[in-house]
């Protein structure tokens, strides 16, 4: 009928020309973003603390985060579904105004309590993270422990003036457990309080230095405090103990024939990180094959090999070292554009995720970088195919001397040029 009826054909053709724009790519993006905009996240659930001033509307990170400190969010979502009468709108506005006034009072009380608690537990260390103008993230996986300690000390020397003034803070990002980090710092004579935060276990744990014995990690009573709010952001579909038992059975199957391939590392494992020591790197499957196996068995998790292939970490699917940096932005309003990540020529399986983004990157080149174990490689393509090393936000230096590091930091405006 549509073909035989010319009038109907002309009408349908005209309607098609009139509404074809609704099926274009820009219109699709517009509809998608409008749908996403209605699903405002109710995370994070923590009460933000600010020891200096109130969080103003102008200083808010964006529309998607403005409801973080507004306890009337659930009420608004329930009342804003459809258009109502004028009387209902008036009642709604009055009710929302009352809730907002109440929320401001509750927020002020909670803020005072939160600041007092932080001053008692961490020496007011957390708010100082928010006041940093720049953050240097040390995420070097390709060097020996002795070289890493020396690099950390040289970075401290290169930024000594800004470090003393408090304008520059430091974060250590690693696949090590927090106990291994503590041993590394102790052996190198570095204080934990020299850092503002520690991203451990490949991004499944976020810790802060603490001097309060009540907050120290037991049973070793390490001078760190775990950010439990971070765990609420990454725990989605985490298998926990069930996943651990499955992985142990899988490791036992790989060890058939009397040759041990993988052994669980209970000391380095945590609630959201199942760690294994690789005993035979030649027999262990590559990371691409391992990820495929996990998907087939419907195990939602990230599998990461260390740079030398001696360690395997299994973490939640939403956890990573790069996501931990984004969490610092959401939690403490540390702008990603003010972060500078220091890496080696290669790294763990998640190395590629540390290069891209709005943050700055400094690559340390030289013979001190160990050759990576190919078992951890997650790509069959060249890194240059996906990362532009010529862009202004990425630079590389030879060696890790204080002068070279200082020059690179000055290039990004982190350090002031000496006149």
Domain assignment present for residue 417? The answer is: yes
Q: What is the DSSP string of 71-95?
A: TTHHHHHHHSSS---HHHHHHHHHH
Query: Is 358 buried (19+), middle (13-18) or exposed (0-12) by CB count in 10 A?
Result: exposed
Residue 7 lies in a domain: no
Question: Quick one: 196 and 62 in the same domain?
Answer: no
From 84, 103, 122, give the residue that closes a domain: 122
pLDDT tens per residue across all 419 residues of the chain? 778 888 888 888 888 777 777 788 888 888 888 888 777 555 555 555 444 443 434 344 443 343 333 333 333 333 344 444 444 555 445 544 554 444 445 444 544 444 444 444 444 545 578 889 999 999 999 999 999 999 999 999 999 999 999 999 999 999 999 999 999 999 999 999 999 999 999 999 999 998 665 555 544 578 899 999 999 999 988 988 999 999 999 888 877 667 888 999 999 999 999 999 998 888 888 888 889 989 898 888 999 999 888 999 999 999 999 999 999 998 998 999 999 999 999 889 999 889 988 999 999 999 999 888 776 566 677 777 778 888 889 999 999 999 999 999 999 999 877 64
Within a domain: 12: no
pLDDT of residue 389: 82
Rounded CA-CA distance 292/315 in Å is: 16
Same domain, 93 and 144: no
What CATH number has the domain bearing residue 299? 3.40.50.1000
178 shares a domain with 92: no
Written as six digits, the tokens of 246 are: 């499955």
Q: What pLDDT is recorded for position 373?
A: 77
What distances in angstroms separate CA 226 from CA 127, 129, 178, 208, one per listed residue? 16, 15, 10, 6
Same domain for 290 and 236:
yes
In the listed set 104, 122, 140, which residue is the last one of a domain according to the structure?
122
Calpha distance 162→166 (Å, rounded): 6
Same domain, yes or no: 78 and 160? no
Are 266 and 381 contained in the same domain?
yes
pLDDT of residue 171: 97
List, edge to edge, every strand of the sheet that includes 360-365: 224-226, 205-209, 197-200, 168-173, 134-138, 339-343, 360-365, 394-398
Same domain (yes/no): 78, 148: no
Within-domain flag for 277: yes
d(CA 67, CA 80): 15
> Are both 157 and 246 inside the same structural domain?
yes
Q: Are 205 and 161 in contact (CB under 8 A)?
A: no
Same domain assignment for residues 172 and 75: no
Q: What is the pLDDT of residue 215?
A: 54
What tokens were used for 143?
Answer: 């060097």
Last residue of a domain, one of 72, 95, 122: 122
Residue at 347 is within a domain? yes
In a domain, residue 13? The reply is no
Taking residue 301's Cβ as centre, other Cβ atoms within 10 Å add up to 22
Domain extent for 216: 124-419
Number of domains in the chain: 2
Statement to judge: residues 110 and 59 lie in one domain: yes
For residue 377, the model assigns a pLDDT of 63
The answer to whether residue 19 is domain-embedded is no
Residue 173's DSSP bridge partners are 199
Q: Rounded CA gap, 103 and 48, in Å? A: 13
Contacts of residue 148, Cβ cutoff 8 Å, sequence gap at least 6: 140, 184
Asked if 214 and 228 touch (Cβ cutoff 8 Å), the reply is: no
Do the beta carbons of residue 51 and residue 79 sit within 8 Å? Answer: no
* Same domain, yes or no: 192 and 96: no
Domain assignment present for 84:
yes
250 and 282 inside one domain: yes
- Provide long-range contacts, Cβ within 8 A and 24+ apart, for 403-411: 403/158, 405/154, 405/155, 405/158, 405/362, 406/158, 406/159, 408/362, 409/136, 409/158, 409/159, 409/340, 409/362
Note the helical H segments in 20-85: 25-38, 73-79
């Amino acid at each position: 009928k549509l073909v035989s009826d010319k009038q109907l054909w002309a009408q349908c053709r005209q309607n098609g020309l009139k509404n074809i724009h609704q099926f274009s790519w820009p219109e699709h993006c517009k509809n998608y973003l409008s749908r996403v905009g209605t699903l405002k996240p109710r995370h994070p659930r923590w009460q933000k603390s600010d020891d200096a001033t109130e969080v103003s509307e102008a200083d808010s990170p964006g529309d998607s985060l403005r409801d973080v400190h507004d306890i009337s969010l659930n009420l608004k979502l329930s009342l804003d579904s459809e258009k109502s009468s004028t009387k209902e709108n008036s009642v709604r506005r009055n009710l929302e105004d009352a809730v907002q006034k109440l929320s401001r009072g509750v927020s002020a009380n909670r803020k005072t309590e939160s600041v007092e608690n932080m001053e008692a537990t961490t020496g007011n260390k957390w708010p100082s993270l928010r006041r940093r103008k720049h953050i240097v993230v040390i995420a070097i996986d390709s060097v020996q422990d002795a070289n890493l300690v020396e690099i950390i000390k040289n970075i401290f020397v290169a930024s000594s003036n800004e470090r003393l003034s408090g304008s520059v803070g430091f974060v250590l990002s690693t696949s090590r457990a927090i106990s291994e980090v503590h041993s590394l710092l102790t052996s190198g004579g570095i204080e934990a309080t020299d850092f503002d935060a520690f991203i451990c276990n490949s991004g499944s744990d976020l810790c802060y230095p603490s001097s309060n014995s009540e907050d120290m990690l037991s049973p070793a009573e390490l001078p760190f405090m775990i950010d439990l709010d971070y765990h609420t952001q990454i725990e989605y579909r985490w298998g926990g103990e069930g996943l651990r038992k499955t992985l142990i059975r899988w490791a036992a199957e790989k060890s058939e024939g009397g040759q041990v391939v993988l052994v669980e590392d209970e000391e380095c494992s945590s609630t959201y990180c199942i760690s294994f020591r690789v005993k035979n790197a030649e027999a262990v499957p590559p990371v691409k094959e391992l990820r495929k196996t996990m998907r087939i068995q419907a195990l939602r998790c990230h599998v990461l090999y260390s740079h030398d292939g001696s360690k395997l970490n299994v973490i939640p699917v939403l956890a990573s070292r790069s996501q931990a940096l984004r969490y610092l932005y959401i939690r403490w309003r540390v702008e990603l554009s003010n972060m500078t990540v220091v890496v080696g020529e290669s790294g763990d399986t998640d190395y590629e995720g540390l290069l891209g983004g709005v943050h700055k990157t400094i690559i340390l080149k030289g013979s001190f970088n160990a050759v990576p174990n190919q078992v951890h490689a997650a790509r069959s393509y060249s890194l240059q195919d996906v990362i532009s090393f010529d862009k202004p936000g990425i630079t590389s230096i030879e060696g890790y001397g204080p002068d070279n590091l200082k020059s690179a930091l000055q290039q990004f405006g982190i350090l002031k040029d000496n006149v």
